[in-house]
Structure formats: C-alpha cells, structure tokens
Structure 1
Amino acid sequence: MHAPFNRRQILAQGAALMGTAASGLLVPQHVLAQSGKIRVGFMLPYTGTFAQLGVAIENGVRMAINEQGGKLGGREIEWFKVDDESEPAKAIENANKLVQRDKVDVLIGTVHSGVQMGIHRVARESGVLNLIPNAGVHIATRAQCAPNVFRTSFTNSQPTMALGEAMVKRGHKKAVWISWKYAAGDEAYEGFKESYTKAGGTIVKELGLPFPNVEFQALLTEIAALKPDAVACFFAGGGAAKFMKDYAAAGLKDKIPLYGSGFLTEGVIEAAGPAAEGVLSTLHYGDGIETKRNNEFRLNYAKTFKMQPDVYAVQGYDTGLLLIQGANAVKGDLSNKAALYKAMEGATIDSPRGKWTMSKAHNPVQDIYLRQVVGKENKVIGVAAKALSDSGAGCRL
C-alpha cells in the first residue's frame, strides 16, 4: 500500500532522479517499467472439455482491450499463454510459469475451480494481480479473499441461488439434483439447496459422478424410477452437451423438465442439438437481453471471431473492462497497487449482461436471469433475482 506523497517528497524524488540521470546511474525499476509493456498472462483451458470456454474468455478480454486502442493506461501489452488442461495437480506449476518465468503483471485465469485454487495460492504468495474470469470456487472471495484477487464472473452458488425459487414458482416442488462431484458441483448444490428448500421445495435425492466422467446412464435410470417433478443440475462444456443428449435419449426430456445452472446450455446448444430445446436455466447473461449495449457487443463479437458470443465471452470481455478501468486510473502504473485496487473495487462495469458492481469481497453484484433454450439461443424470459450478491462469508479485506 502506498502512502500519498507530499509536495516536499515529490520535489526530493524529482531531484534524486535528475541526479541519477546526470551521473549515469540506473533510475528506479518502477520508472523503467513505465516505459515497457504490461505483461498479461492467460492461464486457461485450451484442450479438453473446457477448451471452448478458454478460447471464448480470451477472445472477450482481447476484444475489450482492442476497443480501447489495444493498450492499458497508455502502455502496450505483451501477452503470455499457458494451457491449464483443467488439471488441478498442475495448477501451481503452471501459474508459476507465468508469475516466475514470464514475470506477468496480471494473471487472468481460470475456468476450473480446482485449478483456480492453485492459481489462488500463487497469487496470494506472490502478490500478482489475479482476475478470475470464470471459476466460481467460493473460498477465493470468501475466507481466502485477497486484495489482489478480483472475480468478474460469479460464485458457484450465485446462479443456483436464483434457481430454486424459480422452479417452485413453476410448480416443481419435488426435485432430483445431479452434478459432477467436485468443488463447482458441490457449491452449486449449496445455492440450489438453500433457495429451493427456502421456497418450499423438497430435494428427493442428490446424485453425482466424478469429474469429468460422462457415463450418465445408471443415474438417468435412477431418476426415471424416482419420478420427481423436475431435475436440476450443474454441468458445463462438452459434458453438459452429452448430459442433455443422454437425458433426451433416455426418454426423460418430455416427462421430467430439466433445469440447470446456466452453464448447462452455454456454448453447447448446437452440440446438444434438439436435446437442448426447452431446457431452463438461471445465469447472469442470456442471448436475448434486448439492450443497445448487448446488441452492439454481440454484433462486434460475431464480426471479429466469426462465432456467436456466450457467457464466457462476456466474462472475458468484462475482465478486460475491469482491467482497463484499473490501468487507466493509475495511468498504466500497475505497481501503484493501492490506487489500482481502489479503482477496481469502485468500478461499475457497463457490461452486455447489464451494469454490475464489485462486492466488498471482490465478486460481482449482478442480476440473474431465467432463460430457456429456443432454437440456438438462451432466450431471457425473466429476471430470477435482482442485484444478487454472494455472502462473502469469512472475507476480511
């Protein structure tokens, strides 16, 4: 944290710099850094079930910064990339490649909550600025929150905190929950259980399988036997597409309505085909948000990358917007951490998802939408929760 300089200190520092220049000595490192490039590292999945998510996030970040002339606070950028492979066991090693080897000023990552915990450890120990563009693991903005860690996406329980009440309102009072058994799935269930039971619903059974296992048949047979009013789930990426296809193939689609945390249908509607039609979900973004901001974003993204954007692209875009606000506030001097963090904490992000602000624990305070798959879109059919904030339980910033 930097204390503010008084006039005497500024004059003294100026004189010192002039003296070192005249004597041929090196100027302070932070002054030299100002003339160099800002080093930005992506640690994202570029292979495996989450590969398309990583690409969309990177696209979004680059698009936001390119719209501002391709610079941060007036400084050019040097980019670095590491494929995290969605492999938690390699997370610390991979994060250190960017922090220690590449000396990045900013580490953007990642998707997988287990991998994020490795990044989180490195970020807390090194002090590098970490922007989380997806992974919703609770502890990162709860008990282990840190001044240099900001999330632009959600906590794992935020979308499902809005799901339970929406399901009960639609008459589904007995539900089965199914997800991968890992951090993201467990925490998504936490949000669903709290909201669904509070609204008067009963969870008949909780089902799970190890990540990234996609052998769903035995569990689908069990769901058919239980005959709940509806099924709620958490899956994402290629596994989500397969789950929807298998759900339909098992004959459940037209008998038991399927709901999910919105990642169930993000970026995989075409892969899932007709099996996705009609699936309902809650998320902080939807294709049918009819605002000028969202329409312009979608058009520009499609023109730039020859594909339609999804929530991952939006989260990447908003990561870029947050970094731009912070960097501009300190005129590119990311070593001025107190001012950098203050600017980011106080930011209002004018996002395609709608404007959102940063909570005290560095997590978005945002609207959660109810969406339904119609054709190839996640159409917004209502707002499930307004300005929903994660509890930030245990955070001391």
Structure 2
Amino acid sequence: MIDRRRLLSLGASAGAALACGPFIRPSYAQAGALKVGLLLPYSGTYAPLGEAITRGLELYVQSQGGKLGGRSISFVKVDDESAPPKATELTTKLIQSEKADVLIGTVHSGVAMAMVKIAREDGIPTIVPNAGADIITRAMCAPNVFRTSFANGQIGRATGDAMIKAGLKKAVTVTWKYAAGEEMVSGFKKSFTAGKGEVVKDITIAFPDVEFQSALAEIASLKPDCVYAFFSGGGALKFIKDYAAANLGIPLWGPGFLTDGVEAAAGPAGDGIKTVLHYVSDLDNAENQAFVKSFEAAYKIPPDVFAVQGWDAGQLLDAGVKAVGGDVAKRKELNAAMAAASFASPRGPFKLSAAHNPVQNFYLRELKGGKSVNLGLAAPAVADEAIGCKLS
C-alpha cells in the first residue's frame, strides 16, 4: 500500500495553459496536468536526500511558473523507504494505478535497479536523480532511462585523475564491502593506475561496520603516500574522526560523499581532507549563484548536490516536454529530446552521454572549518565508460 503518498499540484489550471497557447491544438493527453511520479525516500536514513531532491525539482518547476513545456505539474510522491523488496510494487502502482506520465527516482541503487527494470518494460520516461549503480547506464541502459547524477565508477575515475595530478603515486583504498564502495574503488583504480600510480592494498570492511582500528593499523604498516576512502553518512563521520585520532600523517582523499553531510560534525578532524565531486556550493557561475540564492530563500538552508540533481531532473524533463509541445504521449520524440538536451546547470555545463549518464566536470574540494572549499577543476567533461550499453 502507498500510505505515505502526498499529492501536490503546481501551477495554473490546464484551461489557463490552453488559453496561453493558441498555436498548438492540444490532444486529450495534454488537457490536464502532467503527472510526475516521484519514487523517493521520505523516511529513514536517506529521507534528507529524498527531500533535497524533491525541493530542487519543485523549485525548478516554480521558477518556470509552475509549468513544464506549457503543462501544469502534478506530483505523486511515494516513499520507497529505501527498501528494494518494495520497489517493484511501488513502481507498478505509480505506473498502473496512479497513471504517472513520467517517473523520477531514486536514491538507493537497489530500489533504482528494480524501478528501472519495470520502466524499461513499460517504456515510461524515467529520470534517476541520484542512484549511482554503474549498471543503470551500462547494461541496463534504455532509450527511456536517464540519469542526472553520476555513475559510481565515474566519480572514482575523476578522483584518481586528481590524485595523480597532485603527484601521489602509492595508495591504499578502504571502503565498505558493498556495491557502491566496490564501484567507487574500481573507477579510482582504473585512472590512478593508468597514470602510473600503484595501489598497494584494497581494504574492505563488512557493511555497515564502523570499527576501523584494524584497517588503520594496516594502513600505518603499509606506509602509502595517500589513502582513498569511501564511506558515507555516520560511517564516514566515524572513519574521519578515527583517522584523525590515529595521527597517520597520510593525506586522506575520497569521493565527495566521504564528507558531504558531515562537514560540520567532523570539526577539526576533517580539516585537510580532499574530495572530488561534480558540485561544490561556491562554484562561480551565474546559474549556481541564482540557484543558491533562490534555494536559500525558499528553504532557509544552503543547497547540496542532491538538490542540484533534483533541479537538473526538472531541467531535463522541461527540455523533453517543450520539444513535444506538452504531448508526453509522444514518448519516442520526448526521449530523443532529453537525450540531446544541453543546458547550464549549477554544477556547470550539462549534457548526456550516449548511455544517458551526465558528461560533467568534477571539482577538487578541501574540507576547511566545516565547509568544503572549491580548489578548482579536477577533471573536465568526464563520461562514464558505459560498458555493456548498446545505445548509440
């Protein structure tokens, strides 16, 4: 059962929309609001991420007067609870019972893979605003599936490039033993070793254990000149504090999710950690400045990378809906327009690869005084490898 659904209608009535568009004779499908199904976590550990994505998306729609491509928008919000066993049922209900025109979700990769499987079969235009499982835009790629976030391996590759540019040559990796960690490490190793770096040891810790002392002792004995680590949330905070307490004197690097969300809580223990991600809040571009200003005005907090990914899901959908004059029944044309979309994002230039994953800049950041500070471009226009994707 969908017991956490919230229905939000934005914008003016369809009648007003038609009055403003005399040059297009709308079909029946265009007569009402465009129904967008949101399958996101609104409870549990990932609830803040789901809320940030939703806020970014809603803010973009509001910035367009409550409409996308001339259509008013109705959101049907379903809490996926970050529970893969429920994903098939909830996705099916959004498509079949709620009659969603478009699907946007989600955060948890396990939920996303189940969602994408159904979306591929149904053909519903689908945008993934976070889940980074490589397979979504590799072997599971499809004409109707798009991503506005990242692939896990893509972030790892960008971080490896930045570490080579920093002159680092001998690394130890450490992460939880689960898919996201393994994909982040795999991407890192590809670029780091391609740049003549050496990975002397991969250390994995059972998920979600937070006892890091044995791993830290092993790192100390190996004496690398850097450590590449991927943890997130509370586990990341514990690792950061334990790492600082160990006083290893070895630079700590990782993908941006190592520090995002725990910057202030890390305190002095986090100072000096360098991370790489496709967004940092102080990027100096007009789109980001306007986005930060409007987000802070609306929600009284600064935006994060998840809000950006939600905003860009709105931008991508807008490009597709405009191209078909609001008639989302023209799925082939809608998908083609989204695949070809190119626009200014708060993160910088945005476009998609042939596999429908973002080709995007990655930025080097350093944690200082509880805030990630932009140190500049780490790797420009990075595309995922798209292994196994047959789109062209």
Q: Same fold (TM over 0.5)?
A: yes
**Residue 153 of structure 1 aligns to a residue in which SS?**
coil
Q: Which of 195, 202, 206 does residue 202 from structure 2 map onto? A: 206
C-alpha contact 2:170 2:198 (8 A) present in aligned 1: yes
- What amino acid does structure 2 have at the position aligned with 1:390? D
C-alpha contact 2:119 2:126 (8 A) present in aligned 1: yes
C-alpha contact 1:59 1:313 (8 A) present in aligned 2: yes
Tell me the CA shift for residue 105 of structure 1. Answer: 1.4
Q: Which of 223, 240, 243 does residue 227 from structure 1 map onto? A: 223
- What amino acid does structure 2 have at the position aligned with 1:297? F
Q: Which of 340, 362, 377 does residue 356 from structure 2 map onto? A: 362
The equivalences for 1:184-263 within 5 A come to 184-252=180-248, 255-263=249-257
- What amino acid does structure 1 have at the position aligned with 2:177? K
Report the CA distance shift for 1:381/1:361 in structure 2 as closer, same or farther (over 3 A). Answer: same
Report the CA distance shift for 1:36/1:345 in structure 2 as closer, same or farther (over 3 A). Answer: same
- What amino acid does structure 2 have at the position aligned with 1:308? P
Tell me the CA shift for residue 195 of structure 1. Answer: 0.8
C-alpha contact 2:143 2:335 (8 A) present in aligned 1: yes
C-alpha contact 1:248 1:275 (8 A) present in aligned 2: yes
Tell me the CA shift for residue 184 of structure 1. Answer: 1.5
Does the alignment pair 1:99 with 2:99?
A: no
Q: Which of 376, 384, 390 does residue 390 from structure 1 map onto? A: 384
Q: Distance in 1 between matches of 2:359 and 2:76?
A: 30
Q: Indicate the larger mover: 167-176 or 286-295.
A: 167-176
- What amino acid does structure 2 have at the position aligned with 1:172? L
Corresponding residue pairs, total: 366
Q: Distance in 2 between matches of 1:355 and 1:160?
A: 20
Tell me the CA shift for residue 122 of structure 1. Answer: 1.2
- What amino acid does structure 2 have at the position aligned with 1:309? P
Q: Which of 31, 37, 40 does residue 33 from structure 2 map onto? A: 37
Q: Distance in 2 between matches of 1:105 and 1:323?
A: 11
**Residue 114 of structure 1 aligns to a residue in which SS?**
helix
Which residue does the alignment assign to 2:61? 65
**Residue 279 of structure 2 aligns to a residue in which SS?**
coil
Does the alignment pair 1:149 with 2:145?
A: yes
User: What do residues 12-36 of structure 1 show as CA deviations (whole Å, max 9, x unaligned)?
Assistant: xxxxxxxxxxxxxxxxxx9332112
The equivalences for 1:296-375 within 5 A come to 296-375=290-369
Q: Which of 100, 114, 125 does residue 129 from structure 1 map onto? A: 125
Which residue does the alignment assign to 1:9? none
Which residue does the alignment assign to 2:113? 117
C-alpha contact 1:53 1:111 (8 A) present in aligned 2: yes
Report the TM-score when normalising by structure 2: 0.88
C-alpha contact 1:176 1:223 (8 A) present in aligned 2: yes
Tell me the CA shift for residue 238 of structure 1. Answer: 3.4
Report the TM-score when normalising by structure 1: 0.87
- What amino acid does structure 2 have at the position aligned with 1:165? D
User: What do residues 174-205 of structure 1 show as CA deviations (whole Å, max 9, x unaligned)?
Assistant: 21111222222111111101011111221121
**Residue 348 of structure 2 aligns to a residue in which SS?**
coil
C-alpha contact 2:361 2:381 (8 A) present in aligned 1: yes
Report the CA distance shift for 1:33/1:211 in structure 2 as closer, same or farther (over 3 A). Answer: farther
The equivalences for 1:164-179 within 5 A come to 164-179=160-175
- What amino acid does structure 2 have at the position aligned with 1:138? D
Q: Indicate the larger mover: 220-229 or 375-384.
A: 220-229
User: What do residues 312-368 of structure 1 show as CA deviations (whole Å, max 9, x unaligned)?
Assistant: 111111111111111111122111112111211111121011112111111111111
- What amino acid does structure 1 have at the position aligned with 2:237? A
Structure ID, larger Rg: 1
C-alpha contact 1:53 1:237 (8 A) present in aligned 2: no
Tell me the CA shift for residue 149 of structure 1. Answer: 0.2
User: What do residues 67-99 of structure 1 show as CA deviations (whole Å, max 9, x unaligned)?
Assistant: 001112222222122222222232222322322
Q: Indicate the larger mover: 238-247 or 287-296.
A: 238-247
Q: Distance in 2 between matches of 1:183 and 1:124?
A: 22
**Residue 42 of structure 1 aligns to a residue in which SS?**
strand
Which residue does the alignment assign to 2:282? 288
Report the CA distance shift for 1:95/1:216 in structure 2 as closer, same or farther (over 3 A). Answer: farther
Does the alignment pair 1:277 with 2:264?
A: no
Listed as ranges, the gaps of 5+ residues in structure 1 are 1-29
Tell me the CA shift for residue 288 of structure 1. Answer: 2.4
Which residue does the alignment assign to 1:108? 104
Q: Distance in 2 between matches of 1:86 and 1:223?
A: 33
Question: Cα RMSD between the aligned structures?
Answer: 1.8
Q: Distance in 2 between matches of 1:221 and 1:90?
A: 40
User: What do residues 345-397 of structure 1 show as CA deviations (whole Å, max 9, x unaligned)?
Assistant: 11112101111211111111111111111234322212121111112222122
User: What do residues 100-151 of structure 1 show as CA deviations (whole Å, max 9, x unaligned)?
Assistant: 2322112211112222111111111221211011112111111221011001
Q: Distance in 2 between matches of 1:395 and 1:58?
A: 29
Identity of aligned residues (%): 53
User: What do residues 208-232 of structure 1 show as CA deviations (whole Å, max 9, x unaligned)?
Assistant: 2344443434333333333322211
Report the CA distance shift for 1:291/1:123 in structure 2 as closer, same or farther (over 3 A). Answer: same
Q: Indicate the larger mover: 266-275 or 56-65.
A: 266-275
C-alpha contact 2:253 2:273 (8 A) present in aligned 1: yes
